[in-house]
Structure 1
Amino acid sequence: MDSEIKTRKKLDSAEIGAIAHLYRGEVYRSTIWRTRLDTTTNWSVVTLGVALSITYSAPQASPLPLVLVGILIIFFLMQEARRYRYFNVWRARCRWMELHFYAPMLREGDLHLEEHWQDRLADDYLHPRYHVSMWTAVGRRIRRNYIWILLIQTIAYLGKLIVHPTPLQSTAQFLERASIGPLPGWLILLLGAVYCVTWGVIAIISARDDAVRARKRRDPLGMG
């Protein structure tokens, strides 16, 4: 088997054409999943916008919708992270073919099959797997989009407590406005702080892991 790999013949015109069609298919799949990522982000933005409209519709309106919308945002974020893991596979394959197939063909006409880049691509087709973990995907989506959604949600919620129904007068009043039914205000604010800090920590850890992975990778523009 090793000798067969070492003596791999050059690709003929039919094989090159097949790879071109394969590349088009991977680009199409990555485009479709890119659109699905945008869809879940749009859902998060729309639901947050609805919560903002309800909460700020009147001074006496409850800030509760801004709290409850956080549950939907978490759901959309997890769904988007799952979609991102699929998208990352198609994107990585496209980038791999661009880097090792199209770029060498355009530059010098030699595909460098002796470097066995085609074996890594073939292995990815034979043994498909995610290239990033779920938590890495969550962290990336937070850093790219959801950090701003969470920031707007947090600022809007605190702003509602501060200005409605009248400008805030004391800390005790602030805690009173934050209370929800039998749950005291300090507990709601504590849960909100944990909510925000948790996503922030995941984003930071994910960014650090991505940086470590990039330093260790032999081919910075490669798969994964």
Structure 2
Amino acid sequence: MPEEAERSQFTAAEIGAIAHLYRGEVYRSTIWRTRLDTTTNWAVVTLGIALSISFAAPGASPLPLVLVGVLIILFLVLEARRYRYFNVWRARCRWMEQNFYAPMLIEGDLHLEENWQEVLANDYLRPNYHISFFTAVGRRIRRNYLWILLIQSVAFIGKIVVHPVPLTTWDEVLERSSVGPLPGWIVLAAGALYVLSWTGIAIWSEIHDTRRARRRGHSGSSMG
């Protein structure tokens, strides 16, 4: 207890160490942020290639626009995994900014009595992801992939509508949508489920993050 009572402030050396720690966490978050951009770029490029192939000629097959969805899902999964790592470093940086730098700049006081430093120390002693995998997927869909998925879907519909000639009947929609032995209605139903599923995850993620932010605001003890 006497040692805890004496522990009222950081020394100059300890403040310098925390500053270097913050720089290291910023560097980590920057590296992982670059990796997020890489997977997004892969998704955009592969979709662009599929668009080029499918719209190269009126008789070109729309199948590449369907198959590219598998690659987009793969990139989304990879990016969600990377985002969970990025969120660890980002959360630590934000925690130090909020509890170390901001009070020091505003009041000249580090507010060690609030024990924010213990939260940070425990995160180093027992590192863990701050968000679930599905939350990460939802966030990446909201930020980037929902637009990619919508462009893919609109491009597929546009291909069916205009190539090789403009549509005149609903039967032509089903005929052009068919892929090998799969009838058109199954392909269209799978496409609708594809878009609605990712949209639903994005909406759920938004609601979940909003509730989580409110709980974090009330408790003041969570990070990430």
Q: TM-score range by the shorter chain?
A: over 0.9
TM-score, normalised to structure 2, is 0.96
Q: 2:34: which partner in 1?
A: 35
Rate the CA distance shift 1:5–1:60 in 2: closer, same or farther, 3 A: farther
Match of 1:153 in 2: 152
1:104-151 residue CA offsets vs partner (Å, 9 max, x unmatched): 111121111111000000000000000000000000000010010001
Query: In the alignment, what sits opposite 1:214?
Result: 213
Contact kept in structure 2, 1:214 and 1:220, CA below 8 Å = no
Distance 1:127 1:156, change over 3 A: same
Instruction: Give 1:220 shift.
Output: 7.1
Task: For 1:70, give the aligned amino acid.
Answer: G
RMSD, matched Cα: 1.5
Within-5 A mapping of 1:16-31: 16-31=15-30
The percentage of counterpart residues that share the same residue type is 69
The separation in 2 between residues aligned to 1:159 and 1:146, in whole angstroms, is 20
Give the secondary-structure state (helix, strand or coil) at the position aligned to 2:53: helix
Q: Give the structure 1 partner of residue 56 of structure 2.
A: 57
Is it true that 1:105 corresponds to 2:104 in the alignment?
A: yes
**Hey, what does 2:130 align to over in structure 1?**
131
Counterpart in the other structure of 1:84: 83
Alignment pair present for 1:68 and 2:99 = no
- Runs of 5+ unmatched residues, structure 2: none
SS in 2 for 1:217: helix
Unaligned runs of 5+ in 1: none
Contact residue 92 and residue 223 of structure 1 kept, 8 A: yes
How big is each residue's C-alpha offset from its partner over 1:169-198, in whole Å with a ceiling of 9 and x where there is no partner?
110011000001111000011111111111
What is the CA-CA distance between 1:8 and the residue it aligns to? 2.2
Residues 6 and 114 of structure 1 are in contact (CA less than 8 Å); yes or no, is this contact kept in structure 2? no
3-state secondary structure, aligned to 1:180: coil
